[in-house]
Structure 1
């Protein structure tokens, strides 16, 4: 009789544990800045109120650390939800069988229409492995008060006007351009835009796909134009010692006039500084080249090794609602991925929306989201080498060309 009781208690305990685990959802969120963490905590709380049978365990990890830890999570003890990047960054893991196919959810939830413009970026081999949350434009943030101090009366539309503005800022004792080069992706934004403006979208995307040699004169021209900015000391000194996070206080303190960044940067600008902040399209270098832009998107994914996929699907459906998408975008300084959600009232986000919606030359994701991961990593290391010693252009491009041939198995 005692044995029967013991076994009954054991099975009851196991049943309760199983029930508890079934309602637990583990969510790992990458974030940039405290404001992004706060909005995710709010959204997760709203999800739990609507789904009281689900307990969410959330882990918030700073973006750069997250990138390093993600491969280990996906291949070992995977969470149920991850926040990641669309395009090639997503496809890299989907192609390795590490993300769940959620094509059925796209059909069931009407996402084919609501996220129509981002379906391609959410897909690999015709199947969907991500649901987008938001996207953002890239452009140049600038301090209106700092521009006024330097005697700059108009936003630079052309490259020459941009160079003139840099010279005026420098003459006034102000660093013209801030960049957090320790995080190499901040440099990739400069490569993207110089390549867009000098060579156009089609050339850029062929380069991203490994179809153009890095020793091509048109690639060198991008670096040569970039070198002029470095040689004239328009970038902050010791740019590689600053991260993305450390560049924000410099902007808030007025130590630099401009920074090339996605609209998400606006979420961290101090309120008193934001009233003095403007945002403009990257200047035109060659009028004959149709204007192209970066319009990078963020997403949520279910790892293939997730333990609670049913509740993970419920979470994706919740976050994808127009109202929730709008909340996230408003807090991030970005734009909602769901086309039924209202455009945020933030003036910088609205300017970003206008930039992307008026773009006729093509919209890319971003350097490391349009290119296979290994090539992108090598390319961004090369950019850091270049910022450190711009005289090494030829050596850097020769190395990248050898890397391209190896990665894409070219003879």
Structure 2
């Protein structure tokens, strides 16, 4: 997914527990002949337009310039990637270059000795990247991944459908959002598109509400104490239940995927819902999933997740993360050089021009063409704090339980009080 301008005041990420014993240099350190034939096995999740052909072209260009290197590209859908990577890592054989969001998942891979320490390799050029973007990939002062994209989650909305419902301004508080949902529904429009089947989109609501109610400190304390059974997290569930009780989602949302022809992005891109809570990639996926392949164009707007009355969190605190790549322990020598090529300013501008990526290379920020992406970048630039996706910030089992529990709350099978107990039980077992 999980894409933005300088974030100078980012706070520490939850779940990045200090003091864990890290394995030393990972993988095989034997000297390799740089001219020997090498195959780079590259897994990424940009499996649709517009980035799918862009990555493919960059791989071909690299092969053309390096006759001894072959790049085998395996594009995978987000959830399929996670499942396949879990199988590969459990077997101790990660791909050479693969998608990473950093945080707790990457830390677990580091602790298991599955990824390379890139600190020395990237030292000559990592300074070209926005420092905030590198943070989730930095563990105990060492760099284990490189981000190509950094962004935040917020509400994307259809200006025409808002106007039809008489909603004239973007909601600034949770109460205003619920009022807008009621008006939109009364106008015969689906208020919100949601991929209920995939679970991760739903966790955005609970995570943001926990941030707005408890502040970033609540999320960081929960990671430290392995305890989510606190009033702030219960209140986040209660506020989310207020939304769910309004029945704001499209018909069949519990079985809907994200990027499928009848999924969340397509529902938005085809004008079937007034808004979705999603990351910076939303406009591009809406367009590629829509029947017109153009999406909403200038009808699409963006606003940050609203404040909660009486909450300790600020609307200036952002939730999101970056897409990046980690390098497997047995990757051939050319892998890091290929990664460097992907992060060259020209290639970052190409990625930015698609609208699907907000670049991490400082000099490529001028490649952002989409007005909404510029808005996201500016919003993130002024953020006073930042929280990584919970299903990445926390250890994988905890992140999965957050996704599962929030899905149960949205489906009506568990209460706000029950889900915090379930998440805490898993957190305490880690």
* TM-score (norm. length: structure 2): 0.84
Indicate which of 156, 161, 164 corresponds to 2:176.
Answer: 161
For the Cα contact (< 8 Å) 2:270–2:295, is it kept in 1?
Answer: no
Would you say 1:296 and 2:317 are equivalent positions? no
Q: 1:51 to 1:20 in 2, by over 3 A?
A: closer
Indicate which of 228, 231, 238 corresponds to 2:242.
Answer: 228
Aligned residues: 385
Q: 1:19 to 1:324 in 2, by over 3 A?
A: closer
For the Cα contact (< 8 Å) 1:115–1:132, is it kept in 2?
Answer: no
1:330-376: CA deviation from partner (whole Å, max 9, x where unpaired): 3253311122322412111111111111112x111211121111111
Q: 1:318 to 1:348 in 2, by over 3 A?
A: same
Indicate which of 354, 358, 362 corresponds to 2:378.
Answer: 354
Equivalent in the alignment of 2:427: 404
Q: 1:86 to 1:22 in 2, by over 3 A?
A: same
Q: Secondary structure at the match of 1:324?
A: helix
Rg comparison, structure with higher value? 1
Would you say 1:276 and 2:302 are equivalent positions? no
Give distance in 2, aligned partners of 1:354 and 1:187: 25
Would you say 1:106 and 2:122 are equivalent positions? yes
Give distance in 2, aligned partners of 1:354 and 1:45: 34
Q: 1:276 to 1:26 in 2, by over 3 A?
A: same
Would you say 1:33 and 2:56 are equivalent positions? no
Q: Secondary structure at the match of 2:352?
A: helix
Give distance in 1, aligned partners of 2:403 and 2:95: 29
Q: Secondary structure at the match of 2:109?
A: helix
| Superposed counterparts of 1:84-163, under 5 Å | 84-107=100-123, 109-112=124-127, 114-163=129-178
Give distance in 2, aligned partners of 1:363 and 1:32: 27
Would you say 1:177 and 2:176 are equivalent positions? no
For the Cα contact (< 8 Å) 2:101–2:137, is it kept in 1?
Answer: no
Q: Secondary structure at the match of 2:191?
A: strand
Q: Secondary structure at the match of 2:282?
A: helix
Equivalent in the alignment of 1:368: 391
Q: 1:21 offset after TM fit, Å? A: 6.7
Give distance in 1, aligned partners of 2:267 and 2:295: 14
Equivalent in the alignment of 2:357: 334
Q: Which has the higher helix share?
A: 1
1:152-189: CA deviation from partner (whole Å, max 9, x where unpaired): 12222222221221111110111111110211110111
Equivalent in the alignment of 1:285: 308
Which structure 1 residue ranges, 4+ long, deviate > 4 Å from structure 2?
A: 18-21
Give distance in 2, aligned partners of 1:295 and 1:272: 23
1:187-229: CA deviation from partner (whole Å, max 9, x where unpaired): 111112111111111112222x142632211111000000011
For the Cα contact (< 8 Å) 1:36–1:332, is it kept in 2?
Answer: no
Give distance in 2, aligned partners of 1:297 and 1:138: 11
Q: 1:274 offset after TM fit, Å? A: 1.8
Give distance in 2, aligned partners of 1:347 and 1:250: 21
Give distance in 2, aligned partners of 1:104 and 1:272: 43
Where does the alignment leave 5 or more consecutive residues of structure 2 unmatched? 1-32, 288-293
Q: 1:402 to 1:81 in 2, by over 3 A?
A: closer
Would you say 1:65 and 2:80 are equivalent positions? yes
